[in-house]
Amino acid sequence: FCLSFKKHCDKIRVLRGEMMYNLFYYNITKMTDELYSKEFSKLPLLRQKQLLKKANIDDRKRSLAGDILTKRYLSKLYGVREDAIEIKRGEHGKPYVLNLPAHFNVSHSGKYTILAISDKPIGIDIEIIEEFSAILAKKLFNEDELSYIAGNGPSRKKSEMQRSFYEIWTAKEAYLKYLGSGISGGVNTLSFSLKNSKLVPNKNDIKLTYDFSVPGAVTAIVTPND
């Protein structure tokens, strides 16, 4: 990928699972204002306008990093020029590649942007582990999901409850992105049952995988179960 981006890029972790997917992480704190301006100027005018609508510079950098990673690594993995890659968006905004046998998905949280590329449909969501709303959890999650968060009750550490909450939340978000329906599909399109202290998705046609490579974050990846 372009030298200017590589120069300011953290070492990117590449993972291959049974589904032959690749994950790429980028820390936006490495994107200087100079680099941002340089890469921003290369975008089509419509995309520039879309980024400028975002609330702050970090939001713009996260989105720009996703654009750059997508083009760079689709080009690298499939051996085509970046300018030959056509990215379109579905009815609910999920991006897809028009002219390659590839699927990808992008997610952002905190200072990180993450990209997943696969030869089959894929959804990904990353969330930095932090405080969560117990009221929101009770409103959106079923009894088994709430029990998983609570664990052994009052003695459970707060950090463990936070991680459990985001394991559930990222899985639900990743599944919606896998479907391409976005949040409009309803966060409980994917729900869980608690069996032998483990959460089991209510969908048999998907595989749910977690990755904890990003410090202090949970990443959920959803792929077909075949």
CB count within 10 Å of CB 188 equals 13
29: its two tokens: 């704190």
Tell me, what amino acid is at 167?
A: E
217-224 and 206-211 as β-strands: parallel, antiparallel, unpaired? antiparallel
Burial-class residue 190 by CB neighbours within 10 Å (0-12, 13-18, 19+): buried
> What DSSP character marks residue 13?
P
73: its two tokens: 């690594």
**CA-to-CA distance for 146 and 62, rounded, in angstroms?**
31
pLDDT of residue 144: 95
pLDDT of residue 181: 75
Residue 171 — pLDDT band, cuts 50, 70, 90?
Answer: very high
The yes-or-no verdict on residue 178 having pLDDT over 70 is yes
Nearest to 61 by CA among 106, 12, 126, 111: 111
Predicted TM-score (pTM) of the model is: 0.88
pLDDT of residue 218: 97
Q: In a 3-state reduction of DSSP, which class is residue 156?
A: coil
Instruction: Give the mean pLDDT of 34-39.
Output: 94
Residue pLDDT, tens place only, 58-94: 999 999 999 999 999 999 999 999 989 988 887 777 8
**CA-to-CA distance for 27 and 209, rounded, in angstroms?**
22
Residue pLDDT, tens place only, 98-116: 889 999 999 999 999 999 9
**CA-to-CA distance for 174 and 170, rounded, in angstroms?**
6
> Token match 């030869």: residue?
119
